[in-house]
Structures are given as C-alpha cells and as structure tokens.
Amino acid sequence: MYTQLLPIIVPVLACVMVGYVWARSGSPFNREFLTRVVMNVGAPCLVLDGMTSLSAGPTEFYRSAMIAVWLIGACFVTGALILRAAKQPVRSYVPAVMFGNMGNLGVPLCAFAFGDEGLGVVIGFYIAASVIQFVIGPMIQGRQAAWRTLLTTPIIYAALLGLLLLQTEAEIPLALANTVELIGGMTLPLMLIAMGYSLAMFKVSRINTAIGITALRFSLGLMAGLLAIEFLELEGVLRGVVLIEACMPVAVFNFLFAARYDRAPEDVAGAILVSTVLSFISLPWLLLWALP
C-alpha cells in the first residue's frame, strides 16, 4: 500500500509545505507574480502538453469536460436547495460547495497517480471548471460574468489549440513540444506552493460554518461522482480521475471572488482551510479507492 501511495502523496505535500512554511517564516513572497507566471505561461503549456498526450483524441477531452460540468452542476442544484432550506446565504456559500480544487490540487494528484494518461484526462476537468468558475461564479455572487477575465485567460486558447491539433491529428515541431513540456513541468509544483502559501494566510472565524460547507462539498461531490461512474459505467483511469476530482476540497479561487463581491469571505476562507486539511487526512483512502 505504502509503495503505491507515497510516490503520489509525498511530492504534493512537500510542495504545499514549502509554500506554507515560507509564508509562516515571513520571507518575501510575490504571490501575484507567481500566480501570473502559472496562469499566463505555465498552465497553458501544461494544458497543451496534456492534451497532445490524449490517446483517444478530442472525444476523451469532451467526455471529461462534460463529467466536470455534471459534478459542478449537481453540487450547485443540491447545494442551493440545502442551503436555502437551512436559511443560509446561498449566494455566499454555494460557490464553495460547487467548486472543488480541481486545478491546483486535482491536476497534480491525477498526474502523479495516473501518469501522462491521467494528466491528459484531468485537463478536461480543469478547463471546464475554469470556464464555469469565471462565468457562473461571478454571476452567482455579483450578478455578472467575468467575461473579460475569461477571454484574457491563456489556458482557454491553449485548450482551443490543443483541440485543433487533436482534430487534425497534427503534431507540433519537436523543439516546440520540448519547450512546452519543460515550461509545463514547472506548473504543478508552483501551483502547490502557491496553494500552501494561501492556506497559511487563511483563518477559521466560524468553525461550525466552515465544517458545514466542508460537509456539503465532500458529500455532494462524492455522490455526484459515484452517480457519474455508475451511469456512465466508467472504468480505469477515467473512473479514478472522477473520484479524485469529485472529492476535492473547496477551491482557493472561491475566496478571491467572495472577497471581491463581499460574500462572507471569512467563512469561505475557513471552509477552504478546514476542507483542505481534511482532504489531506483522507487522501490515502481516496487514492486507494481511485487507483485501478
């Protein structure tokens, strides 16, 4: 068991701890610069590299993206109903229930767990979640979509280029392919380091609220994932990726939108911290369940 899990968990935890310890030490850390490098340079290269490794062509990408839409949509509908019944602020809390950390945490985990095949599959989840988060998230919290932000996000254009290459079965020159692979390779550790730094900045102001949001994120995500696996009869790597992505903790991006639109950012920050800690505690069992 340990020989299976340690190569997956240790690199992820190590990178997160680098960011966390760095923040706690008080050493200078330009988070905005790191985020821009990841979003504008590293992530597009990672997306393009992952998509060109898809064995089943664009069909595999579309299938992954549609499953991601189902996971997020199911959590939105059921989460909103439960929050409304509990007389909680739906617009403030439902994004934290909908959007798990499919990018910063889900992508590295699937890449380490399933290799290049897992990376290729999880890219569909990452792209779909990013588009929905930039369009639907602000509409829920601020009644307007962040179209400008979405249209200036390079990963969207990297995905379109990747789809074009898949559809035409074209190959990029080896020199460019090696460059994309090299730059994309820096993205996963930088994502995790930035995530660790962000976690060090968050505090739990209301523990009961944080636990409640966390419970909804995990339970609704897991149920949606299991339904997808059952009805679509998923197997192998795709089944494992769905399980991992469905059970991801509250995404860090939720805090940025909550702060921007003044939608209980302290409660969202607490939910991110609590859900991430619980996610790391339960990670060995989740991986054992997800691995083929």
pLDDT tens for each residue of 178-197 = 999 999 999 999 999 999 99
Sign of the alpha-carbon dihedral angle for 122, 126, 132, 137:
positive
Averaged pLDDT score across all residues of the chain: 92
DSSP string of 143-182, one letter each residue: SS--HHHHHT-HHHHHHHHHHHHHHHT----HHHHHHHHH
Give backbone dihedrals phi and psi of 102, rounded to 5 degrees, phi first: -70, -20
What is the C-alpha separation between 4 and 154, in angstroms, rounded? 35
pLDDT tens-digit profile of 191-244?
999 999 999 989 898 999 999 999 999 999 999 999 999 999 999 999 999 999
Q: Are 124 and 65 in contact (CB under 8 A)?
A: yes
Residues 6+ apart with CB under 8 A from 258: 92, 95, 96, 141, 264, 265, 268, 269
**What SS3 class is residue 135?**
helix
**What is the pLDDT, as a whole number, of residue 98?**
97
* Extents of the domains making up the chain: 2-21+62-148+185-290
What is the C-alpha separation between 92 and 77, in angstroms, rounded? 14
Give backbone dihedrals phi and psi of 234, rounded to 5 degrees, phi first: -75, 145
**What is the pLDDT, as a whole number, of residue 261?**
85
**What is the pLDDT, as a whole number, of residue 145?**
65
Confidence of residue 170 (pLDDT cuts 50, 70, 90): confident
Mean pLDDT of 56-70: 89
Confidence of residue 151 (pLDDT cuts 50, 70, 90): confident
What share of the chain in percent tops pLDDT 70? Answer: 97
Q: What pTM was estimated for this model as a whole? A: 0.90
